[in-house]
Amino acid sequence: MSLQDLIAERKAKVAVIGLGYVGLPLVCLFTKGGYPVLGFDIDDEKVQRLRRGESYIGHIPSERIQDLVQSGRFEATSDFSRLDEPDVIIICVPTPLNEYREPDLSAVVSTAEAIARRLRPGQLVVLESTTYPGTTDDVLVPILKKSGLELGKDFFVAYSPEREDPGNPKYTAGTIPKVVGGVDKTSRDLACALYASVVVEVVPVSSARAAEACKILENTYRAVNIALVNELKVLFQRMGIDIWEVIRAAATKPFGFQPFYPGPGLGGHCIPIDPFYLTFIARKYGFTTRFIELAGEVNTAMPRYVVNKVADYLNEMSKPVRGSKILVLGVAYKKDVDDPRESPSFTIMELLLERGAIVNYNDPHIPRLPRMRRHYIQMDSIPLTEENLRAHDCVLILTDHSAYDYDFIVRHARLVVDTRNATAQVKEGREKIRFA
């Protein structure tokens, strides 16, 4: 039976490599769609938890994983020698930046090499990891060709960027349109048929490069606009103007304006990283992306700006940063999720610790700080009690989780520094609130 027929009858076995915030929702999506799914991850602890029916991602309940496992349609493994079993292989591995802000494609390369060793005729390989235009054609395909099989005849390759928004109840993997580009028409058509069977809409584009560029555009657009409001935040604060009030007023215009909001810095697996993928590949074409790089400078300066504002506000109370007790609220990169990737909270906490502050944190979604690629602070979340609030010289709001009772926080804190306008509805004690 051809791959096209296997997809049409939902008998194609789908493999997902990388069972994180992108890969695990895909597992749920394809299993729900009736496909048998094999999940691969190098982290054997993740694999064992999934086999026990346990979820390690907040917005995916363990009950859902238990149902997948018990249905017999899903199996997790760390045995990459089984890559010849699936008919479709979807790659969802991390693509971070290295210390020089250049793309680190080591996970993509090692995954491609593992696939090439087991590649068999009839398989479709789809890359979903965010990367620069040309990665699929220039990095992934040459490695797969080492198998000795012929591209477009024996195996097929496409790119379809992930568009996950963790914690967003309105948009899930199945309700977000899927952009798909293939390295040839047959590859694109197969990938389109696959995704069309499980998502609300498929958007075909002319090439893998166009699909890769689409993802970069989406996230660069957000990064640049967030940089704009971050810069205006600093300016308007000096002018005595409330940036949040200005944005609310501007957003009443029914055309020509989309609101973006300032914060303590960029976080998440996409927006702080993806624009630099574009600046990297642009240099290969003799082009300097000045606009994007300037936006990156503005956004990466925000954590230090926040720390400086905290120092100013403590100084108003005749307190130095050194020795002051600071309680950080929220280490997730955005509200109501348990995802700390690239969160500016880690940089801010490190800067405060370097200045001699005594730092604690609370996050209802992250009970213990995980080891990050560039940060490792050994600390547990402390309870958000009246006693703990009063014991700190400053409460610093970095993530505006819905679970927080901001009236309670302001009532019992000595000083509140708000980076998210989380205290907008607080009526009493506003004299204790400052903004950064």
Helix (H) or strand (E) holding 256: none
List helix spans (H) across 240-343: 243-250, 274-284, 290-300, 302-316
Task: Say how far apart CA 57 and CA 338 lie, in whole Å.
Answer: 7
- Give the start-end residues of each E strand in 1-148: 14-17, 37-40, 74-77, 88-91, 123-127
Specify the residue for token string 């789908």: 14
User: Angle of helix 344-354 relative to helix 302-316, nearest 10 degrees?
Assistant: 50
Task: Say how far apart CA 362 and CA 377 lie, in whole Å.
Answer: 14
What letter does residue 323 receive in the DSSP assignment?
Answer: T
Beta-bridge partners for 380? 368
Provide the pairing of β-strand 155-159 with 123-127: parallel
Beta-bridge partners for 203? 179
**Pick the catalytic residue: 28, 92, 214, 270?**
270
Which token pair is 316?
Answer: 């108003």
| Cβ within 8 Å of residue 385, ≥6 positions away | none
Provide the pairing of β-strand 202-204 with 74-77: unpaired
Closest CA to 408 of 399, 425, 419: 425
Which token pair is 131?
Answer: 């990367």
Task: Say how far apart CA 287 and CA 279 lie, in whole Å.
Answer: 8
Task: Say how far apart CA 298 and CA 285 lie, in whole Å.
Answer: 25
The answer to whether 270 is a known catalytic residue is: yes
Q: CA 99, 225, 395, 343: dihedral to nearest 10 degrees?
A: -30
The number of beta carbons lying within 10 Å of the beta carbon of residue 259 is: 12
Active site residues: 270
